[in-house]
Structure 1
C-alpha cells in the first residue's frame, strides 16, 4: 500500500511540474507576436519604399524617351 501511495504522489508531482508557469509562457508568446508583427511591418515598409523607387525610375525613363 505504501508503494501505491508513493507512486500516486510521484505522478501528482510530475503532473504539477509539467503544467507549471503558464503566465510566463503567455507573456513570452505575446512578446514574440509583437516582435513578429514589427518585423512584418518593417518588411512591408521597405517593400513600399522599393516600389516607390521603381515607380519613379519608370516615370523618369518614360519621360526621357518621349522628349
Structure 2
C-alpha cells in the first residue's frame, strides 16, 4: 500500500511539474515515467519470485536481476529529467 501511495503522490507531483513544459517535453517525461514504473513492476515481480525460490542460487540470481531492474528504472528517470 505504501508503494501505491508513493506512486500516486509522485504522479501528482509530476503532473504539476509538467504544467510549465511544452507538450513534447511533457509527453517525453510521461513516457519515461511510465517506462520506469513498468521496470519497477518487473523488479518487484523478480523480488517476489526470489522470495519463492527453492534454492539459494536461484534466489540470488533473481535478487541480482531485481537490483539491475531497479537500477535501470533509475537510469530511465535520470536520463529523462
Q: TM-score, normalised by structure 1?
A: 0.47
From the CA coordinates, give the structure whose radius of gyration is larger. Answer: 1
Q: TM-score, normalised by structure 2?
A: 0.40
Query: Which is bigger in relative contact order (C-alpha 8 A, separation at least 6)?
Result: 2
